[in-house]
Structure 1
Amino acid sequence: MTQPDHTTLTGEQVRALVDRYASGPLAEAYAHLDGVAEPALTEVPVLTKDDFRAALPGTVARARDARFGSLVYASGGTTASPKLSLIPSHMFVRDVAAHWNPLTADDVLLNYDTPGLLSSAHNFFNGLAEFTGAVSVPLGAVDDERVPAWLDTVESLGVTAFNGTQSQIAQLVRLCAAAGRKPPAFRKVLWNGEAFSASAAALVREQLPDTELHGIYGSTETWVIGHNGLGCDLDTFHVLPYQHIELDEGMILVTNTHPDCLNPVLRYRIGDRGTWVDCPCGRPGPALRVHGRDDPQLKFLSILVTPQEVAGAAHAVPAVTGVQVVMVDHGAAEERMELLVTLAPGTDTDGAVAEVRHRVLTDVYRLGFEVAAVPQAFEVRAVERLWVNPRSNKTPLLRHRSGSDTEETWNGNA
């Protein structure tokens, strides 16, 4: 499958993009293109998150000179040193809605994405509802114990649609099931922020069989890259016309060509891997299938493993519904790997934990051999719920922590 023709960039377009960003912190990166009238995109260096961080002062200066306001959002990092990004205050809503807008004017949208803390999705979905003429209920994420009371309120408003991460969607459905009540009658679920896991999709299909799933894919740096909807595979996205995608040995490189783009995202390495495929929805042209992170390997007990390999082996046990890999004191002599698993109701916990341990140590290349020498370095624990990032409401596959950390959030039930 080849690159879609509609996003091929001409030398003239590349020259204009380079001129836009060839100042400030990135000047040296583009100096070799001085005097080249129509450079090829492949002559432009690939940008990483470190390059992006270095270019932040210049990005802020460009935003001050723009003809529109701008918003600052965080794409990761820590609260002490967040990775910051700027986008136009219009959030490209009109441009996205021209190609993806599941809402109609008679919808009432329950906005469950986290507001504040420099998180971006909450504002975007409020903006999408406003653009559409729909009613937005900007509730944000709610603590588990308060969900039933809030559901009574939002149901009285006649909600028809819901947006959030797949972790939030699945958790809301689980809480309804545990309380013996049906989830609100959502006609549509709009999701973003993380891949839709097979277990979450199965849960939603079981509890909300008539609900449409509509997703968007992107990052805070690039903003929305692609979208999917009815008939699409959940890991496959149709790329917006102004987003140029390259696949460099499977790595996804993004160039946002929109004239209002503030961030320097020329050949930006987003951190995922992908391939071009034909989407089963029948929409003409190739679609982008996202396979996961492009830098997944980690060294543990002298061997290279990926969290995906470990999780895949654990998911081979039928009772397992969720997996999270926690590296404790990673890189230290006493490093450990904790494998947190959630199990189907009624499962024999001890038996399932033993089966998961055996399966992972048998199936993941050399892991069993290395752990045999230090059995305390690998532990499997059954938990009620995997750890969810409280800012983004995503469930990461891999987490790192210190062995001295005694926070409650690490007991798997937070």
Structure 2
Amino acid sequence: MRRPTGQGAAALSLLPELVRRAARVPSLAAKYAPHAAGDLPVLTDLPVLTQPELALATKEVLTLGHPSGSAQLWADGGTLDSPALTLLPEGMFAPQIRRAWRPLGPTDVLANLHPPGKLRPDHYFYNRFAVESGATTLAFGRLPDGSHDDWLDFFARHNVTALAAPPETLRRLLGSTAAGRPVPWLRTLLLGGATHDTTADAQIAECFPYTEVWRLYGSPSAWVTGHRGPQCLADVYHPLPHQHVEIVDGRLRVTTLDLSRNPPLIRYQTEDRGEFAYCTCGLPGPAVRVFGPSSPFFRFHGRAVSARELVELATAVEGVAAAQVVVSGEQRIQLRVRLAAGVPDDHHTHAWIRFRVLESHLSLAACVIEQPDLFEVVAVDDVDATEAVLVSEEY
């Protein structure tokens, strides 16, 4: 099924310039040069951009310079040796997102609980978004361990009305309020961004019954693609005006219709599966229902993680002969390894393999730090190399 979502002629008129700019990037020249001359190209006639192609083009742009002004560099996963890098314009599209998604106003105080650093953009985005909204920002960062309720009291005393939190922090907050303690001061909860938070609305409503939930859908590479508000259906998002979404063979493709994005993102193939839907909130145009990522990717704390990358990192550790990733329905990751002959099967070996994998992966470690028990290494007699790298099961 293929049906592009709502861009008018004015936005699509940017396509010729986007294609010309893409053709100037060395690794993309052959891909886009045939489409760079002539009249307005038909979007669906343009080639599909893959994640490896985007990563290589980004490296080239870093060498050649950014023609659209200052930019920020982030990582869409990957490893230290082979990072999946993404360039975003300095404003991170906060003004464009604010025009379509308006959860905050001048009377709000936003506590931003997204941790800074480690090539993760969400902390910096929500600071900028609050400025665009005229709100006050408390750029707090990661909640300290074991002090959820104390900090909730602190926020209440300092007139906080809204929280922005990553999935791993939200799980901790839901656990800390599970006893039914009311949090009437929390008017607004902002979720998503470069992560896709799939925490059930009903679970949030049980702990935060006074709170409206506003969500963004996106990834570091495609960036924020869709939005939804408190009246929208679960898992349904409205594409942002500058993001053109197609669904082809059940997969989402994104085109960013903005000249500040470099290299241009044209028909970028995401890992997420979805379908077109209509929302009951009343916003015009089709919406998108987002499902999970396609194998060998899996969703962990809102990030699409490649099981194949984890296997490659594990087998690069001396003494690991083979590996396989198993993910349970509760988002617990088990890295199963077959050790080489003579390698001791003990806690120290498992801990070293775990450390090396987490140290080299650009997104997994930041998620695991909140709940270390969600990622473990176990030794097995063998792994079935003929099966898919990712196996989902309960264990």
TM range (shorter): 0.7 to 0.9
> Residue 236 of structure 1: CA displacement?
0.8
Residue segments in structure 2 that go unaligned for 5+ positions in a row: 298-306, 309-324, 341-362, 381-395
> Residue 264 of structure 1: CA displacement?
3.1
> Residue 65 of structure 1: CA displacement?
3.1
> Residue 113 of structure 1: CA displacement?
0.8
Amino acid at match of 2:267: R
| SS of alignment partner, residue 55 of structure 1 | helix
**Corresponding residue for 2:336?**
328
2: CA distance, partners of 1:279 / 1:162: 25
User: Are the equivalent residues in 1 in contact too, given 2:6–2:241 (CA < 8 A)?
Assistant: no
User: Are the equivalent residues in 1 in contact too, given 2:5–2:239 (CA < 8 A)?
Assistant: no
User: Are the equivalent residues in 2 in contact too, given 1:3–1:276 (CA < 8 A)?
Assistant: no
Deviations 1:95-130 (A, max 9, x none): 110111200101011101111112101111111111
Residue segments in structure 1 that go unaligned for 5+ positions in a row: 300-305, 312-321, 333-387, 406-414
Alpha-carbon RMSD across the aligned residues, in angstroms, is 3.5
**Corresponding residue for 2:35?**
33
1:391 counterpart = 2:366: yes
Amino acid at match of 1:18: V
User: Are the equivalent residues in 2 in contact too, given 1:329–1:402 (CA < 8 A)?
Assistant: yes
> Residue 277 of structure 1: CA displacement?
0.8
2: CA distance, partners of 1:37 / 1:331: 59
User: Are the equivalent residues in 2 in contact too, given 1:329–1:400 (CA < 8 A)?
Assistant: no
**Corresponding residue for 2:45?**
43
Identity %, equivalent residues: 31
> Residue 49 of structure 1: CA displacement?
1.2
Amino acid at match of 2:337: D
**Corresponding residue for 1:94?**
95
> Residue 8 of structure 1: CA displacement?
7.0
User: Are the equivalent residues in 1 in contact too, given 2:335–2:378 (CA < 8 A)?
Assistant: no
Amino acid at match of 1:85: T
**Corresponding residue for 1:64?**
66
User: Are the equivalent residues in 2 in contact too, given 1:11–1:37 (CA < 8 A)?
Assistant: no
1: CA distance, partners of 2:241 / 2:273: 20
1:272 counterpart = 2:282: no
TM-score (ref. length: structure 1): 0.70
> Residue 183 of structure 1: CA displacement?
4.3
**Corresponding residue for 1:217?**
217
Once the two structures are superposed, the pairs formed by residues 254-403 of structure 1 within 5 Å of their partners are 254-296=254-296, 311=329, 322-329=330-337, 389-391=364-366, 402-403=377-378
2: CA distance, partners of 1:137 / 1:158: 11
User: Are the equivalent residues in 2 in contact too, given 1:120–1:220 (CA < 8 A)?
Assistant: yes
Change (3 A) 1:34 1:82: closer
Q: 1:52 aligns with which of 43, 51, 54?
A: 54
Amino acid at match of 2:19: V
Deviations 1:121-148 (A, max 9, x none): 1111111111222111111112332334
Change (3 A) 1:395 1:47: farther
Change (3 A) 1:108 1:25: same
| SS of alignment partner, residue 55 of structure 2 | helix
| SS of alignment partner, residue 217 of structure 1 | strand
Change (3 A) 1:247 1:86: same
**Corresponding residue for 2:356?**
none
Q: Higher RCO, 1 or 2 (CA under 8 Å, sep at least 6)?
A: 2
1: CA distance, partners of 2:67 / 2:334: 44
**Corresponding residue for 1:163?**
164
Amino acid at match of 1:69: S
